[in-house]
Structure 1
Amino acid sequence: MNIVFVEPHFPRNQREFPRALASVGANVIGIGETPWDYLDDQLKSWLVHYEQVGSVTDRQAMTAAVRKVQGMVWVDRLESTIEAHQMVAAQVREDLGIPGTSVRTTWLCRDKPSMKDALRKVGVPTAASTGADNADQVWEFARSVGYPLILKPRDAAGAADTIRVDNDEELKSALNAMGNYHSIAVEEFIEGHEGFYDTVSVDGNIHLDFASHYYPGVLEAMRTRWISPQFVTTNRIDGGGLYDEIREMGERVNRALGIGTSATHMEWFYGPKGLKFSEIGCRPPGVGCWDLYNAANDMDVYAAWAEAIVHGGISRRPSRSHAAGIIALRPDQDGQIKGYSGLQDIENRYGRWIIDAHIPPQGHGTQSVTAGFMANAWIRMKHPDYDQLREMLDDVGRTVHVYAG
């Protein structure tokens, strides 16, 4: 099978996808923005051909590159795994008659108001929401639903450019801050615990799944420097209760949005109003989630995804032997890293349970806390007991300090 894969070089874990595709027998043709000579020998060894384009989000350039490849071989699939690349990849598929996720499904997975409208029609519980093209529509929604509200670009991923407002003054300020967007999504703020549900589906049926939890919720985590936020994937997903509800919701979301053979990343809330769907991406999760799943489940999730794409089934099964999580360690201020404290203590206490870590050296520039879980220092850990892992990660957050200036 000949698979065109979009942008195999960057970010860092993108190389795992062509590796996995090649490992299950696919001929992988890469299309990316990086010159061929800049790719390392290992990555080159997984590709049978490579085309460079100026931008993988340029529909015309991508169409021309894929058409050139079609002149050489039959293209069975065109795959992309980064949110910003999804729509152009879907458009090129439809333009050139290549199977895969449709433009309609891609649109519904990116446009938050349309996504929620489609899901409410089939009974999936979601927050009240609307798409607003002007400030008057936002004010009308606020009067109808009340505060607090969430404002975000219609096609934002995660917490990117997301603003919570609790009163008229904050709404006025938020609208001014979001003035560059022609259309925004406005949602009821849902109180409750936040998590995510990641799957690999074949022909719309979920063959592989994982459930994870945020501590605290993403919006708070990405706005508050002193917090060392975590997300943790559970090994208790087969225990029923809430996880059965999440799985049932995932199946309904797949059917409503037309998910076929694809990875997905679905966010959810659970609180006083029960389980509520938040949003979905028709792609793998970011922030190295699949690496955590690999460590927790004694498997290669990338290869399982590749099997689904190439062979229409998945032979690998998760062991659920461990829970695994990441904790982000924020510098006390922006600038350059000056040093750390507490790292040796954590190594002494939990060394056997540490998967890996990223500890930028002295003099390394910091990034804003809004840049995400892997923006600065981080540690990933696993343990057979979910509650014990949570305690260990909390201890890391209390013990390790990152100094900058």
Structure 2
Amino acid sequence: MSAERVLIIGGRIDNVRKAVEQGLGVVYLQQPGQFTPEHASLVDAAFLVDFADWSVVEPVVTAAHKAYGFSRVATTGEAGVEVAGRINDLLGLGGVSYDVAKLLRDKLSMREHLARVGATTVSAAEVTDRAALEAFGAAHGYPFIVKPVDGIASLGIQLVRGPEEVAAAWERIVELRGSDHQFVRFFPMDRFVAESYVQGPEFSVEAFTFEGRHVIVALTEKLTHGNFVEAGHVIPARIDAADERAIEAAVVEFLDAVGVVHGPTHTELRLSPDGPRVIESHNRPGGDRIRDLVEAAYGFDMEAYTVAWPCDGLPAPTERPALLRAAATRFLTAEPGVVSRTEGAEEARALEGVLDVDLSVSVGDEVGALRSSWDRIGQVIAVGGDADAALAVCEEACARMVVLTEG
């Protein structure tokens, strides 16, 4: 067993592989049912518990730390960031605290904190009833956004364009509060926030903070459907130098304001006519396999740095790595119904520039309406000489694939 160990919370098997490749021992905290024979061959110890329940986690990690002496905690998933912060605080391990992790998870608290410290933000208020929606519109104007305070995957986001849409928006909130979804254990939809709507193109910034020093690794251009669900991403963003500098400065200001001192961040923004405005941020690598796009484009393995830095094999860069090539992803969708036929995946995989084709449905599976990221049915990842070329490969691969549904 390795002398130095990391506690990894959840995530894909690559988390564990990459920590071991860097010479670390792994203590693994995972939900029951997610542990595989490969995990068993790689980790020094595993604790299979509901890590959303702190009353269970606290005594487990206390005993695990005494027995295995891990010196850091890492997670690459949203479900693990708050518990990682609690463990950092409990054991005095440094890194991102629970308060900071919670601030990033709770979108209302984030807005209130930014306003309190004088950082750039937008107006926001909690939605407790229909009258609160009407009051927000009267005070701050239309359109405005309504979304879950701690939501994920674009689920439950609404654009309220005028007073005539308030009643429907409130009905949707009531519906969502009573609904269930596959990850409700981690992301309950019980509180909602209204925010002033920010117009402009959408981007995300992938960064890594080294002992308080923020390094912007990539600017990602976001492509969305009309209901805010992501349709794709491309690196590098197709943006001019002045706007790029403004976005970078906005992210650094934000990360300083909320107190991020270590590790990965994925910060989403819109470039408004008045400049960049942060929409939300997360102290983890970007989802939608953005971490894989970053590695393909810049050779920077955000996942390896998350689970293993600091270590000899991962030097801390002083600036953004050199761009190697562009990388993009487009997501696959289908009409609601039962899948009756799929074809073209192998043909798509064979296209030059395609790195991966992930089709997550097969004949007999049910496809729901596109209301969140979880309703997409797969994705294509490709590279090219520039952003347009990478996206063109993705589009061609998607065009080769057919998913038919019935009913």
TM-score, with structure 2 as normaliser: 0.85
Look up the equivalent residue of 1:234 and give its one-letter code: P
- The 8 Å contact of residues 76 and 99 in structure 1, kept in 2 or not, is answered as no
Which aligned runs of 4 or more in structure 1 are off by greater than 6 angstroms? none
Which residue is equivalent to 1:205?
213
Of the three residues 50, 58, 65, the one matched with 2:46 is 50
Look up the equivalent residue of 1:355 and give its one-letter code: L
Q: Deviations over 1:306-347 (max 9, x none)?
A: 443556963577441111111112113321142346984x66
Which residue is equivalent to 1:338?
341
Decide which moves more: 100-109 or 167-176.
Answer: 167-176
Look up the equivalent residue of 2:28 and give its one-letter code: G
Which residue is equivalent to 2:232?
230
* Aligned-pair CA distance for 1:371: 4.0
Of the three residues 319, 322, 326, the one matched with 1:323 is 326
Residues 167 and 363 of structure 1: is their aligned pair in 2 closer, same or farther, counting only changes over 3 Å? same
Look up the equivalent residue of 2:341 and give its one-letter code: K
Following the alignment from structure 2 to structure 1, what is the Cα–Cα distance between the partners of residues 358 and 207?
A: 27
Which residue is equivalent to 1:3?
6
SS at match of 2:114: helix
Residues 132 and 340 of structure 1: is their aligned pair in 2 closer, same or farther, counting only changes over 3 Å? same
Q: Deviations over 1:115-162 (max 9, x none)?
A: 123334555433322223444333211111121111111111241221
SS at match of 1:178: helix
Which residue is equivalent to 2:105?
110
Residues 98 and 312 of structure 1: is their aligned pair in 2 closer, same or farther, counting only changes over 3 Å? farther
Following the alignment from structure 1 to structure 2, what is the Cα–Cα distance between the partners of residues 386 and 271?
A: 22
Residues 261 and 56 of structure 1: is their aligned pair in 2 closer, same or farther, counting only changes over 3 Å? same
> CA-atom RMSD, angstroms?
2.8
Following the alignment from structure 1 to structure 2, what is the Cα–Cα distance between the partners of residues 155 and 309?
A: 30
Mapping of 1:4-403 within 5 angstroms?
Answer: 4-8=7-11, 14-34=12-32, 38-41=35-38, 43-53=39-49, 55-121=50-116, 124-179=119-174, 180=177, 182-207=190-215, 209-216=217-224, 219-221=227-229, 229-234=231-236, 240-310=241-311, 314-315=315-316, 318-340=321-343, 344=347, 351-359=351-359, 360-372=361-373, 375-396=376-397, 400-403=401-404
Residues 337 and 65 of structure 1: is their aligned pair in 2 closer, same or farther, counting only changes over 3 Å? farther
Q: Deviations over 1:172-221 (max 9, x none)?
A: 22223223355321011111111111111111212351111112367344
- The 8 Å contact of residues 159 and 218 in structure 1, kept in 2 or not, is answered as no
Following the alignment from structure 1 to structure 2, what is the Cα–Cα distance between the partners of residues 99 and 242?
A: 34
SS at match of 2:220: strand
Following the alignment from structure 2 to structure 1, what is the Cα–Cα distance between the partners of residues 132 and 209?
A: 37
* Aligned-pair CA distance for 1:235: 7.1
TM-score, with structure 1 as normaliser: 0.85
